[in-house]
Amino acid sequence: MGISEKKNKKNIADFIVDHNRIIAVIVLILVVLSLFVSTFVGINYDLTTYLQESAPSKVAIEKMRDTFGYPGTGRLMLKDVSIYEAKDYKDRIEKLDGVDQVVWCDLTNSIYTSSEFIDYDAISDYYKDGYAVMDVTFKEGDTSKRTHEAIDEIEELVGDKGYIVGMAPTNKSTEETVEKEMAMVLSISVTLLFIILLLTTTSYFEPVIFLTVIGAAVALNKGTNIILGNISYITNNIMVVIQMATSMDYSIFLLDCYERERENGLEKIPALKAGLMATIRTVLASSLTTFFGFVVLVLMEFKIGIDLGVVMSKSIICSLLMVIFFMPALLLLFSDVIDKMKHRDLFPYFGNFAKVIQKISPYVLVVVLLLAPGLYITQSMNDFKYGPDATSTGDRMAIYNQTQEINERFGRSNLIVAIFPDEGSVKEKELVDELESRSYVKKVMGMSAYLPEGMFEDILPRSLTEMFHKDGYTRLLIYTRTKPESPAGYQYSDEIQETIKSYYGEENTFIAGNTPTTQDMQRILTKDYTKVNTLAIICIFLVVAISFKSPIIPIAAMIPIMAAIYLNMIFPYLTGKELIFIAYAVVSCVQLGSTIDYAILSIDNYSHLRKTIPDKKEAAIEMTRISFPSMLTSGGILMVCGYVVFFISTSPAIREVGHLIGRGAIFSVFFVTTLMPSILQLIDKFIVTDIKSRRAERIEHLRSRAQHRRERFRKLRENLQERALQTAAKLAETSAPYPAAEASGAQTAAAEDDKIQKEEGSENE
């Protein structure tokens, strides 16, 4: 192909830059459309919907919903009321739309007699010292709008006389507060990101470009969530900050490439084309590690993994598209503004810092290798929480403190709902009596609670009987005195299930409730973590191995990141705090996928430096100096976004994710900075630099050698010719001819010259 043909050949960068205005208009239309469509994406606050269809508690929930409806639950406490006032409140609440029933002491004890004849010890679980507590079940689920409206009416009815807690009120409170909190999180995060970018860029306007690009990517990601129909509230409230934290580097890289090409003398458009092409090659490869760290989550059996994996891996794609297609138009449009608002580089040189790191790096490596087995074992010894009660109720929520007050005064009340075949009231009564004989069972609500002994249920209104008997099935509401997620709660739940199955068989018995659901979530999530974490490691290992064409490089890259992950995860154990498992499982993949790039950056910089710096130590020092600012910027963004979520959010699951991400970013930056100099020097001979660069350097070296040898033999030929002439002249004077002398010298030089040309051709091949 000729030179003119090469010049006329177009690549994707040429197309994007040449059509930047049309592309920008298309992007803006897509962004507006995405923002509109995103309003139709539902937010799911019920984590039980993500259980496997075959999970026993999920089967029970679906059976219950189809037959009786799956009730939301709450617990109401009234303060400073007489027993008669409490009864009046109870009757009025039961008449509210959306309320199924209110369980209180009046079902089994007469409270219409004189207070002197009431056995207050017998009803102490429901009324004492002027306080009354009632268990409320709703006609629809915890997340139902009808249930939430009923809660509003209850709160309006009781006023400052009391408050209602439980899963339904907690869900309602979460919905109302999370959206406001995340708006605040986003505002603070953007402000802090702007400050970080001002410190790490060289123009006051560059942060505006970066935030505009990432804002468009976020909008596109939110709009395309419509393909899922709805997403979990956890995903909805962490995806924006994670996308900003993990994708900002792509914009920074493109701007750096563009500015570098301009410094090399190119005009704006050629510089942007060259910079964009370099960005496409580099960023596409580096983003694969983050993409695979996220996408493996879709393989979780707990279906929130599909939710998280699709949304977060899609965020990487959207960010790449906006950087590649939208940012070039912004750079051309605002290039003059960027130039006018230039400021000096505010980052220090980091030369002395790099020298200090070089000195301490071997000691840090030894300590990490010695502690690695302990870190690995300790991080697996955490106490975990799995269920809805742990993910939605935190100590920073008002409803949490209200729940603690009720539990301290009246003890716990944990609802387990059972459905089994309707085989007659006698058998059902035997089961109820056996369950109520258990010390941990507070109350069992079934038809027998409303039906006088010896009477037929035909005397009761159909609206009441269908609460417990319908379509050939019986429903029991079993209230236990246990914490939903606890060893005792698990034990008693299993005992209740075994008891009911002994009466009605296993096949037609369905048990639901907070505790059975939590047990299923624990079983599924524990397997999920091992699977997705292993797959994330394998995928990232392969990506790095293929990129560097070496199996040693990915091992070196993972050492500091895995050390950072394990150290991050042992903090809850050391501080004696329980860790929400879903946050633990998700953040392990997020931290691995998003911070492995720090190690890859160090390896890449070191391999390039070794081309020109013969000493390994000097190359390692220079690698640290030029890599640390980038790691500090990226890690700082990740840390800020994580900790803003942690400090602002009141949702336990969201706070936990933010805390782990923020702390994990700090540890990842620390370990990559301190460990990579020593690791790279140890594996120096395995470092594989860019094949094309090495080949070009080798060819240039061989050509230089050939030129040197050709010059040497040219001089040798000239010397031989000169000597031959001198010899011929002398022979002519003595009349003693040597006719072959000159020819012999010329032939020798010609032969050597042919030899050089053949060697050069062979070496070039």
Give the pLDDT score at 96: 92
Give the pLDDT score at 763: 45
Give the pLDDT score at 706: 60
DSSP-derived secondary structure letter, 203? B
Which CATH number do you get for residue 109?
A: 3.30.70.100
Side-chain-side CA neighbours of residue 698 (13 Å): 11
Backbone φ and ψ for 563, nearest 5 degrees, come out as -60, -40
Partners of 164 in beta bridges = 76
8 A C-beta contact, residue 285 and residue 520: no
Give the pLDDT score at 380: 80
Number of structural domains, the chain?
5
Give the pLDDT score at 692: 41
Nearest to 591 by CA among 551, 527, 642: 642
8 A C-beta contact, residue 528 and residue 51: no
Which CATH number do you get for residue 670?
A: 1.20.1640.10
**Among all chains, which residue has been given the structure tokens 């079983």?**
523
Give the pLDDT score at 516: 92
The overall average pLDDT reported for the chain is 84
Residues 463 and 489 in one domain: yes
Instruction: Answer whether residue 619 shows pLDDT above 50.
Output: yes
Give the pLDDT score at 257: 86
Give the pLDDT score at 177: 85
Between 630 and 752, residue with greater pLDDT: 630
Give the pLDDT score at 618: 93
8 A C-beta contact, residue 658 and residue 645: yes
User: pLDDT band at residue 663, thresholds of 50, 70 and 90?
Assistant: very high
Which among 513, 537, 564 is the end of a domain? Answer: 513
Residues 623 and 708 in one domain: no
Residues 446 and 486 in one domain: yes
Residues 205 and 326 in one domain: yes
Residues 313 and 370 in one domain: no
Instruction: Answer whether residue 715 shows pLDDT above 70.
Output: no
Q: Quick check: is 58 in a domain?
A: no
- pLDDT per residue as tens digits for the range 332-378: 999 889 889 988 777 788 889 999 999 999 999 999 999 999 888 88
Residues 327 and 260 in one domain: yes
Residues 446 and 564 in one domain: no
Residues 582 and 663 in one domain: yes
Give the pLDDT score at 764: 46
Give the pLDDT score at 455: 63
Q: Quick check: is 533 in a domain?
A: no
- pLDDT per residue as tens digits for the range 37-61: 999 999 888 888 888 888 898 899 8
Token pair of 430, please? 């035997």
Give the end-to-end CA distance of the chain in Å, rounded to a whole number: 18
- pLDDT per residue as tens digits for the range 502-538: 999 888 899 998 899 999 988 888 888 888 888 888 9
Partners of 36 in beta bridges = none
Residues 215 and 332 in one domain: yes
Which CATH number do you get for residue 446?
A: 3.30.70.1380
Residues 339 and 358 in one domain: no
Which among 689, 711, 734 is the end of a domain? Answer: 689
Average pLDDT on 669-674 reads 95
Domain around 234: 1-40+201-346
- pLDDT per residue as tens digits for the range 729-758: 766 666 544 444 444 555 555 555 555 555
Give the pLDDT score at 713: 62
User: pLDDT band at residue 639, thresholds of 50, 70 and 90?
Assistant: very high
- Give the rounded distance of the alpha carbon of 377 from its chain centre: 23
- pLDDT per residue as tens digits for the range 65-112: 888 877 888 999 999 998 889 989 998 999 999 998 888 887 766 666
Residues 441 and 476 in one domain: yes
CA distance readout (Å), 24 to 211, 216, 334: 16, 11, 13
Q: Quick check: is 293 in a domain?
A: yes
Residues 425 and 560 in one domain: no
Instruction: Answer whether residue 114 shows pLDDT above 80.
Output: no
Q: Quick check: is 519 in a domain?
A: no
Q: Quick check: is 234 in a domain?
A: yes
Q: Quick check: is 196 in a domain?
A: no
Q: Quick check: is 518 in a domain?
A: no
Give the pLDDT score at 596: 87
Which among 689, 722, 755 is the end of a domain? Answer: 689
Instruction: Answer whether residue 453 shows pLDDT above 70.
Output: no
Average pLDDT on 631-644 reads 90
Instruction: Answer whether residue 295 shows pLDDT above 80.
Output: yes
Q: How far apart are CA 105 and CA 141, in angstroms?
A: 24
Q: Quick check: is 405 in a domain?
A: no
Average pLDDT on 151-177 reads 89
Burial environment of residue 441 by CB neighbours within 10 A (0 to 12, 13 to 18, 19 or more): buried
Average pLDDT on 402-415 reads 87
The share of the chain scoring above pLDDT 70, in percent, equals 86
Partners of 29 in beta bridges = none
Looking at mean pLDDT, say which of 675-679, 711-715, 717-721 comes out highest. Answer: 675-679
- Give the rounded distance of the alpha carbon of 199 from its chain centre: 27
